[in-house]
Chains A and B, each alone.
Chain A
């Protein structure tokens, strides 16, 4: 038992090194004087100034942040409904189809979702003359795959939820909607909050789906990053990576704090 646990802990240490060493090196080389990302040429912050003066990159980041905020909010609402329905409505026509629809986007290869959503938008353009491809279509696409992630954590939270409080409220004459609003929702709000954060991150990070549905005018941050990395390593991307890792660490601490508050 002890011997095996020691092996497991060694692997855990190795796993952490494997996960973090590449990121640490990327962050380290964001302070490199040299243009070559793999040759150390002394300490410099010039790539930091370059990134924050990079208009195209900043515009892309701003677009991505707006899309992420809107799509995360929509996904949190719809995902909450989906998770609630899965946890509480045991029998309704089409329940198994509903279950599949909620889970499938989570694992569906993104190229498949990308082409299918683009064809939907092209079809609706022909039939109804819209929507124009850009902010709206990207947001709709992001909502669609984020719903699953919110729904699954909401469903898991509701599965170990103490229902006696809800029952008490109902016994005292509260309607199901009032019970949900005053008892259930406040209790699962932290879960919905971390679901929102997850949806926000997923949206901010998505490349493939976005590339399919974006149209010619809009360029999100991942699209911008991708078109730059394709040509090889670029010190400005190292700077961006450093910023992203820091923000993600903060977001995760925040989300951990939100979930722990439920206890």
Chain B
């Protein structure tokens, strides 16, 4: 048993935990464009102060949080009824319905984001449809706006919302709902007092599974967003690859980590608790 624990423990310690110490060390260093790697080690907090004083970074933080939060809510509003419907479908049909939700997750993330590029383009299929149907004579371009990023996140992360919601809704004892109905509760009241509270663990898990990665999302803002929309994951990428400024990119990574440590811990507790209950 000791070896069974040690193998993953050591692996994750070396390849996951230890690197964060290095990121912190680099974040405290200074950029040295002429050396390889382009870093001079040291102890300076100026990268961090820059992150909190420069308008560009502040705007990027706020945009990331705003877009991630909005898209999490939209994903929840779409994912909840979907999970609910699957959980209420005939038991023999549930695996297929669930599989249809999961299938896109098994295809390429990049390709799913790419699919929206052709749809949202100025001469894209969505605008062609809007013109053809007369819904909008001069539709505006969606590609390159925050709306496109929002749509992309909802699209890409929907399966992550539906799965944990389904897991809690499926276990829901329908006898409780019948009892509520027998006692005269209207369906909406039964939903608000029974179904919703009991599915709360699924809601929390699903929201965190969408929100946490969405804050640091890079591919979606890069391909669907405009040049004026800066999300923090894209800022990190550009600092690293375009500007080759490793210390500032590391500082962004550290801040992102600190920002998300709360939600990640919450997710982990939720996960552990649901497995306890399972046992």
Contact = CB atoms under 8 A, between A and B. Distances in A.
Is this pair of chains taken from one and the same complex?
yes
Interface of A: 1, 3-5, 7-12, 14-16, 18-20, 22-23, 25-26, 29, 37-39, 78-79, 81-82, 84-85, 88-89, 92, 94, 98-105, 107-113, 115-117, 119-120, 122-123, 140-141, 143-144, 147, 151-152, 155-156, 159-160, 176, 201, 204-205, 207-208, 211-212, 222, 225-226, 229-230, 232-233, 237, 240-241, 244-245, 248-249, 251-252, 256, 260
Contacts of A20: 104
B184 interface: no
A107 B187 CA distance: 36
Contacts of A14: 78
A7 B4 CA distance: 48
Contacts of B271: 103, 152
Interface stretch (B14-22, B45-53, B55-63): B14-22
For the side of the interface on B, what is the size category?
35 or more
A117 B119 CA distance: 35
Contacts of A113: 16
B264 A4 contact: no
Contact of B110 (A37, A99, A222): A222
Contacts of B82: 8, 11-12, 15
A248 B114 contact: no
B11 A144 contact: yes
B28 interface: no
A29 B118 contact: yes
B95 A256 contact: yes
A101 to B, nearest CB: 4
Nearest to B162: A15
B118 A26 contact: yes
Contact of A12 (B86, B106, B114, B250): B86
Given A8-B85, A116-B19, A101 B111 contact: no
A115 B216 contact: no
A201 B106 contact: yes
Nearest to A37: B118
A82 to B, nearest CB: 4
A252 B99 contact: yes
A123 B118 contact: no
B218 A19 contact: no
A248 B78 contact: no
A18 to B, nearest CB: 7
A226 B110 CA distance: 7
A237 B107 CA distance: 13
A39 B237 CA distance: 33
A151 B253 CA distance: 26
A229 B23 CA distance: 30
Contacts of B257: 112
Interface string B1-45: 100110111011111111110110010000000000100000000
Interface of B: 1, 4-5, 7-9, 11-20, 22-23, 26, 37, 78-79, 81-82, 84-86, 88, 95, 97, 99-104, 106-112, 114-119, 121, 123-125, 128, 155, 158, 162, 177, 181, 187-188, 190-191, 208-209, 212-213, 215-219, 222-223, 233, 236-237, 240-241, 246, 249-250, 253, 256-257, 260, 263-265, 267-268, 271-272, 275, 278-279
**SS class, residues of chain B in contact with chain A:** helix
21 contacts: A4-B187, A11-B78, A14-B78, A39-B123, A81-B7, A107-B264, A109-B213, A109-B256, A111-B216, A115-B23, A116-B20, A120-B19, A152-B271, A201-B106, A207-B110, A232-B117, A237-B111, A240-B111, A241-B108, A248-B103, A252-B102
A107 B124 contact: no
Nearest to B259: A109
A119 B99 contact: no
B111 A252 contact: no
Contacts of A109: 212-213, 215-217, 233, 256, 260
B16 A23 contact: no
A104 B268 contact: yes
B240 A115 contact: yes
Nearest to B217: A109
A81 B218 contact: no
B269 to A, nearest CB: 9
Contacts of A248: 103, 106-107
| Most central of B82, B97, B102, B257 by chain A CB within 10 Å | B82
